[in-house]
Copies of this chain bind each other. A is one copy, B any other.
C-alpha cells in the first residue's frame, strides 16, 4: 500500500557504503551521501534513520558480503593450500586490484571508530572473530594433512595470520603496490609451509 520507493534500497545502500569506505565515517557528510545515493534528505532519513544508523547498516552489509566472498574463495577447505590461496586472493584484491585503493572497509572502520563507537565495535568484533575462525579451520586442515607447520597451534597460527592480513589491508592505504602485495601474499603461504626444524643457533 501507499506510495512506493523510487530508488533501489540496496543500490543506495551500496553507494553509501562506497562513500564511507573511501572517506571514512567522519569525513563523509550527509550531503556527500545524498549526492552518491541520489536521493533527497527526507528520503534518506525516512529509509535509513540517520547517518550513524545508515553507516551501521552499510557496514554490516559489507561485512556479510566480504565474509561470503572469503568462504567462497576458500572453497570446501579440503585442500588447505588452495583455500589459503583463495583467501589471499581476496586480500590481494582489496589491497591493490580495485580501481580505488581503499583497503578494507572493515579494517578502516576498526581504526577509525572502534574506540568510540560501541555499536560499530560490536559489529566489527563479531566479524573479526568469524574470519579468524575461518582461517583457523584452514590452518587446522593443513596441519592434519601435514602440509602446514605444527609447532604452533592452529588457533595461534590463525591469530598470527589474521594479524598479518590485517596489516596488509591497513598499510595498503599508504602503500598500494601490486608486486609488494604479491610478495606479501606469497610470504603468508611461506609462514605456514615452513616446517620448524631446530633453529640454527650457530652464532659466532
Contacts and interface: CB of A to CB of B under 8 A. Distances in A.
B110 A156 contact: no
Number of copies: 2
Residue of A110, A162, A166, A198 ringed by the most chain B CB atoms within 10 A:
A166
A1 interface: no
Given A152-B190, A159-B184, A168-B163, A173 B114 contact: yes
A23 interface: yes
A30 interface: no
A165 interface: yes
Interface in A175-204: 175, 180, 183-184, 187, 190-191, 193-204
B102 A115 contact: yes
Contact of A194 (B116, B159, B196): B196
Interface in A154-177: 156, 159-160, 162-168, 170-171, 173-175
A174 B124 CA distance: 8
Interface residues of A, number: 59
B146 A203 contact: yes
A175 B125 contact: yes
Given A26-B26, A180-B159, A183-B159, A112 B115 contact: no
Interface of A: 22-24, 26-27, 101-103, 107-108, 110-112, 114-116, 121, 124-125, 128, 145-147, 149, 151-152, 156, 159-160, 162-168, 170-171, 173-175, 180, 183-184, 187, 190-191, 193-204
